Structure 1
Amino acid sequence: MDAGASPFAFIDGGLDRAEHLRNAPDRRAALWPAARLLLLDGEGRALGDAERGPLPLHGAQRPDLRGDAVLLGLREGQAWFAAVDDRDGPRVDLRTAAAAWPAMEATAFAQARAVLHWRARHRYCGACGGALRYGRAGWLGHCDGCGLEHYPRTDPAVIVAVSDGARLLLGRQAGWPPRRYSTLAGFVEPGETLEQTVAREVFEESAVRVRSCRYLGCQPWPFPSSLMLGFRAEAEPDEPVPADDELEDARWFTREEVGAALRGETRESGLLLSPRLSISRWLVEDWYARQGRALPTG
């Protein structure tokens, strides 16, 4: 990926995760009064304004949350913590924040949503059923029953711009808006390389055979806990056959159709692409640019 600002969300402005503070409760306590707080409800929505960002809350205003808050990291010496809080107030979902908030706040929100989702769904040990006790500033669950340690889960998944040299392969799920298509994606299985995942997932979802692929970049995708690993792939010009349990449709799109969609001409192209916050859109733009044309504006 080229240097500079990321073309998709949840990359830029990340906090210094301050590993040295995770086992230093006294130092975290000293930082708490001036710390910024990201407060999420049970649905993963942040307390904040849809345009301006999270509400400017500090630890001194919520001493009751310190014992169970997760340390997100530091920015210019100020600590940022995340905690669950269901009190009334304006709420913003992560997709809205990714489109409107400053990059740093949106990236911190994505981090908070992912780790708090893990905490909410991993309260007990998967080996013995004992309750977990959280340490290391919220990033470790310890089972006192069997001694097993549990860490936040991230699920690797590939997402692929597949081309036969002239066309781009895209698919759509049944629940998506009309005409919405996206690059194909799927989770990595145990014992599998990323390249093997690309070939397997593309064939399973579309019956198209991949010849080769190349890694381009990645995006944390906290819906709820994925890391999207972006590839471009060259494939045979097979006729797509969508998998009944995966996709409603899969088809090849020409350069002209993709270009019209990138310009927002959905009526002309019959194609609606993923929003700019996603790596999927960037992969489509990258493919289009590699066809020898400048990216459309708008």
Structure 2
Amino acid sequence: MRHAEEVTFGGSALDRAGEIRNNPAVVKYARAAADSRAILFWRGKPLISPARPASLARLPMDHPVLADAKAEPILLGREDGAARFAFDLSPWEPDEVDHAGLGAFLDPTEQRHPALPEGMVFAELRRVMTWLDARDAELAATGKAILGWHDSHGFCAKCGVETHIGQAGWQRQCPACKTSHFPRTDPVVIMLITHGNSVLMGRSPGWPRGMFSLLAGFVEPGETLEAAVRREVFEEAGVQVGAVDYLASQPWPFPASLMFGCRGEATSQEITIDPVEIEHAMWVPREEMMEVFAGNHPMILPARKGAIAHFLLENWLADRLD
């Protein structure tokens, strides 16, 4: 697909500086360099300047706020040769927290640290991802994903001993059994399934009213992407799928997935849902989907901008899936 890397979190060509991760002396030098910058996160939320056009905040490495950081910073990569490090400020406790909105599906709350300028806030990445340019979005997604991995993988999966950070944040090493652990990414297929002029849409239990999306599911061990597409669609909606093509991918740090966008041709049309997996599924004609995207549909809301489902549907409507 020619437009594949226009998807949110893709296409910025970040230099990830992988060749220096295992060289502590070089990483230490990079941390001390005058042009290196810190990118901050609080409980998964990146620090941004939200005034449009919004931007990911980059702070000097000696900024006083970094005293509240948790553990070692993570080397995210380089911009124009200058290093970028992710710092986790999760131990900081704001004076006021809106617990009703904090952690919601689209968390609307923003947190302001007293040591930072008034215009900088920690904001939920799902809510602001389309506000950022490609480079800021990739840095934010990478930082959120890698910090989330460290937060949930602090102990050795083999022997249970607490592990230590290595390779500038891209490894955890067990001091007891010497096992090396690396960041985990879970492969997920998300499918644009068509039958004639219609596309298959579904919704999961608990989603906001009117929210529908393309069907999706995790790839199982020993399974190809094509097989996963066919299995997931049949399990969730009872629809048989024939030919399957890969279209585009999207890193999805909620918490640690890589979405493989695929196109599939249905060979059956009758829908029989698995109520454990999804709440409802239906075929939506192209003309009706255009009304959805225009915000005029009485039942279906447009797919969320920034998500690969929106990207695939938009390109399907524009006949740009080649």
Q: TM-score, normalised by structure 1?
A: 0.91
Specify which of 58, 72, 75 is matched with residue 71 of structure 1: 75
Q: Secondary structure at the match of 2:142?
A: helix
For 2:161 and 2:4, the matched residues in 1 are separated by 46
Alignment correspondent of 1:135 = 166
Query: Given that residues 41 and 85 in structure 1 are in contact (C-alpha distance below 8 angstroms), is that contact kept between their aligned partners in structure 2?
Result: yes
Report whether the alignment pairs 1:290 with 2:291.
no
Range that drifts further, 118-127 or 55-64: 55-64
Alignment correspondent of 1:80 = 84
Deviation string 1:20-78 (CA, Å, 9 cap, x unpaired) is 21022222222224321111122x01223333323331112257559701000001011
Q: Secondary structure at the match of 2:62?
A: helix
For 1:244 and 1:185, the matched residues in 2 are separated by 15
Deviation string 1:94-138 (CA, Å, 9 cap, x unpaired) is 123312122211210000000000000000001100110111001
Query: Given that residues 5 and 248 in structure 2 are in contact (C-alpha distance below 8 angstroms), is that contact kept between their aligned partners in structure 1?
Result: no
Query: Given that residues 179 and 272 in structure 1 are in contact (C-alpha distance below 8 angstroms), is that contact kept between their aligned partners in structure 2?
Result: yes
User: For the aligned residues, what is the CA RMSD?
Assistant: 2.0
Report whether the alignment pairs 1:273 with 2:277.
no
Task: Sort the Cα spacing of 1:21 and 1:189 in 2 relative to 1 into closer, same or farther, 3 A.
Answer: same
* Cα deviation, residue 92, structure 1: 1.0
Task: Sort the Cα spacing of 1:67 and 1:207 in 2 relative to 1 into closer, same or farther, 3 A.
Answer: closer
Alignment correspondent of 2:267 = 236
Alignment correspondent of 1:21 = 20
Alignment correspondent of 2:57 = 55
For 2:288 and 2:300, the matched residues in 1 are separated by 7
Q: Secondary structure at the match of 1:266?
A: coil
Instruction: For 2:18, give the aligned amino acid.
Output: E
Consecutive unaligned residues in structure 2, runs of 5 or more: 95-112, 114-120
Q: Secondary structure at the match of 2:260?
A: strand
Task: Sort the Cα spacing of 1:168 and 1:244 in 2 relative to 1 into closer, same or farther, 3 A.
Answer: same
For 2:14 and 2:320, the matched residues in 1 are separated by 37
Aligned positions of 1:179-258 closer than 5 A: 179-258=210-289
Range that drifts further, 217-226 or 63-72: 63-72
For 2:2 and 2:320, the matched residues in 1 are separated by 18
Deviation string 1:220-270 (CA, Å, 9 cap, x unpaired) is 001000000011100124221221111110011111111111222223xx3
Task: Sort the Cα spacing of 1:82 and 1:235 in 2 relative to 1 into closer, same or farther, 3 A.
Answer: same
Q: Secondary structure at the match of 1:257?
A: helix
Higher helix share: 1
Identity, in percent, stands at 37
Alignment correspondent of 2:107 = none
Instruction: For 1:73, give the aligned amino acid.
Output: G
Consecutive unaligned residues in structure 1, runs of 5 or more: 293-298
Query: Given that residues 162 and 235 in structure 1 are in contact (C-alpha distance below 8 angstroms), is that contact kept between their aligned partners in structure 2?
Result: yes
Query: Given that residues 12 and 135 in structure 2 are in contact (C-alpha distance below 8 angstroms), is that contact kept between their aligned partners in structure 1?
Result: yes
For 1:31 and 1:138, the matched residues in 2 are separated by 14
Aligned residues: 288
Specify which of 142, 150, 155 is matched with residue 186 of structure 2: 155
* Cα deviation, residue 18, structure 1: 0.4
For 1:83 and 1:291, the matched residues in 2 are separated by 39
Specify which of 96, 108, 123 is matched with residue 127 of structure 2: 96
For 2:171 and 2:282, the matched residues in 1 are separated by 44
Instruction: For 2:88, give the aligned amino acid.
Output: V
Report whether the alignment pairs 1:171 with 2:171.
no
Range that drifts further, 176-185 or 191-200: 176-185
Query: Given that residues 32 and 66 in structure 1 are in contact (C-alpha distance below 8 angstroms), is that contact kept between their aligned partners in structure 2?
Result: no
